[in-house]
Structure 1
């Protein structure tokens, strides 16, 4: 499968994940009773060619011939994929495709087992860890667990914008009626995927459902996050402005991402907030409860760097202009000013 074809398959899985907010009234994207997922159409010739190149004119040619014909159902596709995995046990791609098919069939237990196998063959890539965590979550009846948390933490440490993990953590929070937490992770995922992503509309709908669940007090201040028990917050107030020269070169609707990182150690953002150029100058506030990865919080950090990035494309990790400033946190609230005045090179 080409990268585009794999992205198509992952996008369908993303939509399934976001649509599975039980009782939320979100549109379902289940493939049950509908045409086969888009990725299957591309999968057939790719796997057939791979098997032929691997086995040549051997007794496995019959399986190669089968892959030359589109399957009539997910069950038939599943049978072919299982045989392909048995024929090529060293193929991470076969294992991954079978895991995706298991998820499409509503078999998360089998999918989790096959994603684990994929990771053992292809390495601990963040996107694979995220999909493994998703399968474990659904196989555990949508109950969060330490192994799932460990996988999503590892995925986000490797890639802070890993969509499967961000979407899954948001879904778990939504299911537990922690709507502020759901919004935090889903907004981060929305910023990463951009408006042209196939799952964008489903995520926007999910965010709307989470907002509807907020209490009146929470709706009055969408930057207020319920503090984690036992975690003393260390507020950091940041005033973000943009220089007149740069303001002339950007659009009012351009996104502005403000995020906090440590000056040493991991560069995974501790927390992030999304604004618009039209809202500048603006003051935002971060606390320990805003941490993206809960094992790494503002209250545990001394020297930090705050970056504000203007991104016309809506991506937090790349843009056109930025501003940076550093400070040291202490037991009292810290204040910081930064101006967006540099090209993002």
Structure 2
């Protein structure tokens, strides 16, 4: 496809240049030049006639000057075809250059490997179109072979290394994928996404265990970007496997806040959080909150809802926060210590709390005019199986 586009553009550019050159050159300028020379010659001849009549020169001088003017006139006329011939030669040289330059460019294009990049790009486009078809396997194989070949000449190309590593991961070739990611992170060690993907591949390559390589890459990714989704997911898995369920819940809750709640990834995170809560049993105090919107009020389905608990008649700083959308209503959420604010107090540290559900008109957790809100009465955190029902029924 890209070759067709390049050929078309070259042809189009060539037509703009060649067309004026192939047109027969107009002779208007040459004829005008001849006429101008003749007029000038006649004026000069008239002046010589006057000077001869006035006695300003003799007959011999007159004849010599007339002969000189005739010679100059003939010389000017003979120069015109020479200029036309020079222009013709220049045109053909330009045409030859126009033909040779694209050929030379295409030759260099092949030698430098850019044509291979174009083929890889075409295969990637084909794969997007045919991802769910029978042709996908063949396209993927061709793409993988092309990328591997490109990396033989350019082993430090991070872009192709990551592409190859991801394809190997899709194929279940975890050891090869991990090794390819390792090559990439050596070249770009400050890329949080790359470190997180390497940690994931190393985890699978070790039989779904956190090897030293996976642990190291995960810690590096979190240090570079504490909110990296892949890293947070892996951190939750590692904590769950080691029995640290609170860290697992906290990690997955943080990841959940950054993605749309109706995506498959969000559903997986929610399921993981529920499993972690089941494992914890009653060891972590929690508060189950049912939230609904009063029928007389309306809000856009995409508006954000913050459900949070705060100290009763105390600090307005939330102890635990859940983020939802109006489209989720009515719904039930569970607030616990895993949903605490960074460096904030824990829900379990409070004696009595108030639960607030607020539909934000600005997207911010801070209240503003136009927000819709509902709140509970004071709730004692010392009770087991604590639950609250909130109806969002007033406008701020």
Shorter-chain TM range is 0.3 to 0.5
Query: TM (normalized to structure 1)?
Result: 0.47
Query: TM (normalized to structure 2)?
Result: 0.42
Which is higher, the Rg of structure 1 or of structure 2? 2
User: Which is helix-richer, 1 or 2?
Assistant: 2
